[in-house]
Amino acid sequence: MSTHAPRILIVDNDERIVRAIASRLENLGYECETACCGTEGLEGFRRQPHDLVITDLNMPAGDGIGLTEAVRALSPVPIIVITGFEAAYRPRLDQFENIAVLQKPFDTTDLIDLVEAELVMAGCSLP
């Protein structure tokens, strides 16, 4: 089991959402890296290992499906997809393992619960 604070990559083109999620998770003791699109998120993922990825689906310059495919090719880390378009993306999301979906708008408590559940299942220590 890992002893470092879990590192979480948060990817969304809505800066308010990214800041809100990162702030809440950092206050709980998580280390967060943020990105505004899938391309930037993948660069961050390749630079340093992460224990979990949270990504939006509908983004310019590298969407969440492309990011999910690329991350999954590199690592089995849990991925939480946040989207307002779950039904439209569900067939594509079903082809990936270890993916959880959280429908927008969401309560941050639900996101925190999901983050903790996914990290525990992946064998990470919680802060």
Domain segments of the chain: what residues? 7-120
Tell me how far apart the alpha carbons of residues 12 and 29 are, in angstroms, rounded to a whole number: 21
Per run of 10 residues, the mean pLDDT along the chain (length 127 residues) is: 82 95 97 96 96 93 90 96 80 85 92 97 94
Euclidean distance between the first and the last CA atom of the chain, given in angstroms as a whole number: 13
Residues ≥6 apart with Cβ < 8 Å to 95: none
pLDDT given for residue 22 in this prediction: 98
Contact status, residue 6 vs residue 127, Cβ threshold 8 Å: yes
pLDDT given for residue 3 in this prediction: 65
Query: Phi, psi (5° rounding) for residue 49?
Result: -65, 145
pLDDT given for residue 1 in this prediction: 43
Contact status, residue 126 vs residue 119, Cβ threshold 8 Å: yes
pTM: 0.93
pLDDT given for residue 94 in this prediction: 82
Contact status, residue 33 vs residue 7, Cβ threshold 8 Å: yes
- Out of 3.40.50.300, 3.40.50.2300, 1.20.1090.10, 3.40.50.10320, select the CATH number for domain 7-120: 3.40.50.2300
- Residue 70 identity: A
Tell me how far apart the alpha carbons of residues 43 and 74 are, in angstroms, rounded to a whole number: 12
Contact status, residue 76 vs residue 97, Cβ threshold 8 Å: yes
pLDDT given for residue 78 in this prediction: 97
